């Protein structure tokens, strides 16, 4: 269970990144020319949080890109009178489209698997089936980290690992909730497997703006008294002018 109000600060992870001199890579070091970038996103917004900068760089450089949206995020507000599951599914899909447009990535292909939000552990074989249909050996697959702390994220990571491994496709994992839920002292993230993709100021600003397209996740729910799904201290993890990816996870 992720505790929204208790977690590791973004500053702690920035210090970790600097302390370990995480090697910087260019776009070509992440997605070589001729390769396709595939981002596998458990919920709308995950693709922007973990890889919005990469996606913006890839589309600007004419890389072929595919987004596999595993769920529609319909379970983000349980018991809400303001946000029904059907309303959330439609709104969150639209938020993704707006965010991609802000990144100048609005024309990428999106595959919607329509699997049940909050139930991906049980649906892991279905995730694998979707991936087997769409992935190729020529892909660079980006997915959440295998220890991300969210069951849906971890199910997607496992499925991506198995299918990418079978295809001999490249796989990179990216912490999302893991930045908040884990501490550098736990040493769960192997710094020797980490890569840092820097991006220019323009793309940095575009990513921050794109994150704020997900209004449904950034505002409190007055019908339940619940705070935002993504409060400011969690968002701070994604306001860096770089993204961290992990190689060789399994």
If you count them, how many residues does the chain have?
250
Nearest to 108 by CA among 171, 38, 53, 28: 38
Per-residue pLDDT tens digits for 87-117? 999 999 999 999 999 999 999 999 999 999 9
**pLDDT > 70? residue 1:** no
CA angle 241/91/149 to nearest 5° reads 55
The pTM of this model reads 0.97
Q: Using 50, 70 and 90 to split pLDDT, how confident is the model at 178?
A: very high
Nearest to 246 by CA among 155, 156, 171: 171
Residue 11: CB atoms within 10 A of its CB come to 10
């Amino acid at each position: 269970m992720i505790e929204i109000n208790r977690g590791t600060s973004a500053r702690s992870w920035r210090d970790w990144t600097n302390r370990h001199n995480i090697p910087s890579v260019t776009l070509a070091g992440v997605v070589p020319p001729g390769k396709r970038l595939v981002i596998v996103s458990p919920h709308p917004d995950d693709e922007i949080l973990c890889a919005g900068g990469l996606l913006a760089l890839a589309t600007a450089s004419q890389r072929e890109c595919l987004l596999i949206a595993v769920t529609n995020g319909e379970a983000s507000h349980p018991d809400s009178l303001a946000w029904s599951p059907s309303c959330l599914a439609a709104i969150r899909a639209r938020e993704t489209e707006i965010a991609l447009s802000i990144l100048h990535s609005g024309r990428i292909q999106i595959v919607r698997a329509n699997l049940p939000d909050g139930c991906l552990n049980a649906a892991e074989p279905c995730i694998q089936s979707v991936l087997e249909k769409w992935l190729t050996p020529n892909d660079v697959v980006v997915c959440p980290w295998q220890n991300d702390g969210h069951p849906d994220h971890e199910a997607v990571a496992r499925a991506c690992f198995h299918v990418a491994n079978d295809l001999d496709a490249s796989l990179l994992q990216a912490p999302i909730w893991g930045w908040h839920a884990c501490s550098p002292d736990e040493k769960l993230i192997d710094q020797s497997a980490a890569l840092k993709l820097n991006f220019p100021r323009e793309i940095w600003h575009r990513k921050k703006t794109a994150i704020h397209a997900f209004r449904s996740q950034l505002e409190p729910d007055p019908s339940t008294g619940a705070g935002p799904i993504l409060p400011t201290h969690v968002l701070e993890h994604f306001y860096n002018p770089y993204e961290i990816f992990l190689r060789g996870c399994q």
